[in-house]
Structure 1
Amino acid sequence: MPRQTLNPKTVSTCTAETEHGNHVFEVFDYSQHRGMGTGEYIRSGIFFVGGYDRAIRFYPDGMREVSKDYIAVYLELLSKDTKVRASCDLRLVDQSTGLSAPATKVGLRTFDSNNNISRFAPHVDKFMNRSELEASVYLHGDHLTIHCIVTVMKDPRVSKTELFN
């Protein structure tokens, strides 16, 4: 007769690890940047979140001819030969209150520095209509502030296996 053994129950856990970062890009003399041309951009200083270099790209005259009446704002992954899962929230700051309002939220996605499309987010050309921006609380004294909030997904943390009671 075979011997019966107890089958112990074990457990391990997985926890998502994230790192958050903020970058504020101040654009002074906004009106002087208009007229650069469609597809021309200003890149913010490089900032570091979750182990990766990033920057904000600001297109005052739009990214493409079809969206030339809109400003465009993108988060760009600059680190070389890298894939990273991240989300971002691109906001404009009210110049009188200092509070920011979400303009574009990008959910969790893979940024790939070797792919000309997926190294940027969001994938929309029309961030805000230029006429609306120029009449808004976000542009005052020829000054525009872009606030970017980035969340990077790190490798998951898995616990060691333990007996489950």
Structure 2
Amino acid sequence: MASNSSATSTDAAAGDVPEPSRSSSVVKAMSGYHVLKMEGYAAGKKGLGVGKFIMSGGFDIGGHCWCIQYYPNQSSDDADWISIYLTLCSTTVDDVNASYTFSLLDHDDEQPVPEHSMSSSSVRAFSRKNYWGFRQFMEMKALEESPYLRDDCFMLRCDVTVFKETIIEPAPRPVVAVPPPDMHQHLGSLLSAGHGADVTLQVGDEAFPAHRCVLAARSPVFMAELFGPMSQNNKETIHVHDIEPRVFDAMLHFIYNDSLPKVDDDEVVAMAQHLLVAADRYGLERLKLISEDTLCSHVDASTAVTALTLAEQHHCEGLKEACFKFMADSGNLKVVMESDGYLHLTRSCSNVLNKLASVFKKLAA
């Protein structure tokens, strides 16, 4: 159970709505039980005397130590009754709120006997000076005539639920609200506006103005190409081959924004395939993993061969496993083997054959 409280200040400027302060009060209930086995019932009844009790061993519930007090003859008024009480043994606390139930147990299954169980009517406050229970828990005659007294022994169970309240104070509200990081937004704006561009990347018929420092910071390949011993630092235009302009544009967007531009649904797989190759080429590990993850979620009969080829060529173990998992189904494998690219796969990626052989064995088994 939890409750919330709030307070507002009355000296706010006119028209302002003050922010309330808040805290939470959480009440937790912790339960447990203890079984007390009373042997030598007859001797205790006769020999203890009026007002004398037997104390159980201590047991821990809710972080507190408890004991059971058993009176075979608490007073002259209760001479024919068993009295039973729960007492707090801890010496470090003054008040503990708890509810309790005492039950006579069946010897055969050690389960409570419903007609001989009694519960506190409400939550009680326990301390070192008081205890709670039942003066007339059960008549001695009823116990002695019942099957629950066996070999001069009976068992009692005490269930205890301790209630604790915890006040949770919120962290102080910061005086200054700090926004999330937005460097990628500024770099993305720099790319789109072209301000300060000091190099042009020529990809086919399209030119992409960019910034040497940004490219080098994001890609070890660009770092070597622009600032290494064999760098083209003095060139204003660098020609990039073997990549489509649209793919390079998406990769450049990622370099500056750390995210990919929106792609049409029917282009998602093809773009991910090309970007995986480009990311591996330029050492963009995060982009490579993003592309691999996209391809893993799009493995089907039309993409499995291409995806497996890419996985083998660019060391993508996760994608490779996704493809083999898809082909573990005999129907899927048959469709893949009948595709145009399967023969090329077996010729260009010989390492794949061993794995495929194990797939064949599992399907044949």
TM more than 0.5: yes
The answer to whether the aligner puts 1:34 opposite 2:45 as a matched pair is yes
- Structure-2 separation of matches of 1:27 and 1:3: 73
Work out which of the residue numbers 90, 99, 105 in structure 1 matches 2:119. 105
- Structure-1 separation of matches of 2:85 and 2:141: 19
- Structure-1 separation of matches of 2:66 and 2:14: 61
1:60-139 aligned at under 5 Å gives the runs 60=72, 62-80=73-91, 82-101=94-113, 103-106=117-120, 107-113=122-128, 115=129, 119-122=130-133, 124-139=134-149
Query: 1:22 is matched with which residue?
Result: 33
Work out which of the residue numbers 145, 163, 168 in structure 2 matches 1:153. 163
How many residue pairs get matched? 156
- More contact order relative to length (CA 8 Å, sep ≥ 6): 1
Segments of 5+ residues of structure 1 without an aligned counterpart are none
- Structure-2 separation of matches of 1:34 and 1:4: 77
User: In 2 relative to 1, CA 92–157 (structure 1 residues): closer, same or farther, beyond 3 Å?
Assistant: farther
Query: 1:142 is matched with which residue?
Result: 152
- Structure-1 separation of matches of 2:62 and 2:109: 30
> Could you say what secondary structure the match of 2:50 adopts?
coil
Aligned AA (1:77): L
* Structure 1 position 13, deviation (Å): 4.3
The answer to whether the aligner puts 1:58 opposite 2:73 as a matched pair is no
* Structure 1 position 24, deviation (Å): 0.6
Segments of 5+ residues of structure 2 without an aligned counterpart are 1-12, 172-365
Task: Flag the structure with larger Rg.
Answer: 2
TM-score, reference length from structure 2:
0.39
Higher normalized strand content (fraction of residues): 1
* Structure 1 position 78, deviation (Å): 1.5
- Structure-1 separation of matches of 2:156 and 2:96: 23
Do the aligned residues in 2 keep the contact of 1:17 with 1:157 (CA within 8 Å)? Answer: no
TM-score, reference length from structure 1:
0.81
Aligned AA (2:35): V
Q: Percent same amino acid at aligned positions?
A: 28
* Structure 1 position 137, deviation (Å): 2.9
* Structure 1 position 25, deviation (Å): 0.6
- Structure-1 separation of matches of 2:14 and 2:65: 60
Deviation string for 1:7-65 (max 9, x for gaps)?
A: 557765433112112111111222222212121111111112222221111112x2111
Query: 2:15 is matched with which residue?
Result: 4
Do the aligned residues in 2 keep the contact of 1:22 with 1:147 (CA within 8 Å)? Answer: yes
> Could you say what secondary structure the match of 1:66 adopts?
helix
- Structure-1 separation of matches of 2:170 and 2:113: 42
Deviation string for 1:80-135 (max 9, x for gaps)?
A: 2521111111111012332113522112111121x3xxx2112x421110000111
> Could you say what secondary structure the match of 2:97 adopts?
strand
> Could you say what secondary structure the match of 1:140 adopts?
coil
User: In 2 relative to 1, CA 41–160 (structure 1 residues): closer, same or farther, beyond 3 Å?
Assistant: same
